[in-house]
Amino acid sequence: MHAVSQIIDRNLLRARPLQSCLWINPEADANWQGLKTNCKTLKLFSQDHGAYSSLLEAGADIEFSAFPSTANKKHQWIIVNLPRQKALLTMMLDCAASLLSADGALWLAGENKAGIKSADKLLKLHFAQVTKLDNARHCTLFEASDSLSQQTFKPSAYRQTWQLECNDAGIDVISYPGVFAHGRLDPGTALLLQALANMDLQGDVLDFACGAGVIGACIGANHTHTRMTMLDSNALALKASKETLAVNHLQGNVLASDGLSKLKESYDIIVSNPPIHRGIKTDNLLSMRLLDTVHEYLKPGGLLILVTNIHLPYENWLSRKFKRFRQLLVNDSYKVFVAKK
């Protein structure tokens, strides 16, 4: 059981029996089952497709989406797991406050090293009553009640639109808090786009770990003979990618998957700025594990084009998976490779 789950579990006796409960972004463990004794109706919600799939398989009533459904009645108890980004926490607290009943309580739990100790300041922007319930296992648990606003949550208030010059095409990029490189072009993707500018791309293209859809939209805008698929495990990224395609009048398939597990097709080109974070932790081998079977989804003669941190040993990984690969571009922080199946 994760540490955050443990601090929630050890405080369950504080909660009175309730009709309706919602847990936002729980860990992919069995702790949700302990809430059943407190809640007549327990709904889980996740923005991460990997956690969603694991909890769904375990029998949880869980929703995967950018934001919780508002079709159901409000909840008397909402638990929120602390996200890595403060901007995402601000948005999700606003969302949670709009879903909480007038007599309800919200719990916010997270690791101390992730910034939970200062989260009470954000809670006080949304709730009149904020109390620290517990501090254990390097985690902190807050309880908040008496929402200061009864306004309907509007995701559009948190949406950012920014412009990017991509070869001869200018595109608008839509993004939300929690999406990789929210509101900006990150330097790794910038180098990758520089490499792609000199390539003739055709056929079926997969943008793996698509984020806000920057790479896929640039390819679609500049290479009319491509058919785009954009994949990510983050529901907010998928929402942003759909909106990025739509605002630029581009066509593309947007797919939810943790890694490549949900793919059923093969591609002429797979392009990626792969992730190196899980939660608050940096995992330097994460992208290699996620791409471990990528060659299986390339058509014969297909290309894998990716940008990596200059310090990661991708040459060793590529030499085990592909007969031919070469470095296209490099700077002080990143390098771009192309490998051919």
Q: Which residues does residue 106 pair with via DSSP β-bridges, in sequence order?
A: 78, 144
Number of domains in the chain: 2
Is residue 120 within 8 A of residue 143, CB to CB? The reply is no
Q: Tell me: pLDDT of 323 over 90.
A: no
Residues 180 and 50 in one domain: no
Q: What confidence score (pLDDT) does residue 172 get?
A: 97
Residues 142 and 173 in one domain: no
pLDDT greater at residue 118 or residue 276: 118
Q: Tell me: pLDDT of 149 over 50.
A: yes
Summarize pLDDT for 165-184 with one digit per residue, the tens. 998 889 999 999 999 999 99
CATH value at residue 84 = 3.40.50.150
Q: What confidence score (pLDDT) does residue 277 get?
A: 53
Helix, strand, coil % over all residues of the chain, rounded to 5: 30, 35, 35
- Segment 95-124 mean pLDDT: 94
Summarize pLDDT for 35-77 with one digit per residue, the tens. 988 899 999 999 999 999 999 999 999 999 999 987 667 999 9
Is residue 94 within 8 A of residue 287, CB to CB? The reply is no
Q: Which residues does residue 145 pair with via DSSP β-bridges, in sequence order?
A: 105, 129
Residues 42 and 130 in one domain: yes
Report pTM. Answer: 0.94
Summarize pLDDT for 229-288 with one digit per residue, the tens. 999 999 999 999 999 999 999 999 999 998 898 899 999 999 999 987 555 455 556 667
Residues 309 and 187 in one domain: yes
Number of residues written out for the chain: 341
* Domain endpoint, select from 102, 125, 155: 155
Which domain range does residue 67 map to? 3-155
Query: H helices of the chain, where?
Result: 3-9, 49-57, 86-99, 119-123, 187-196, 214-222, 235-247, 286-290, 314-321
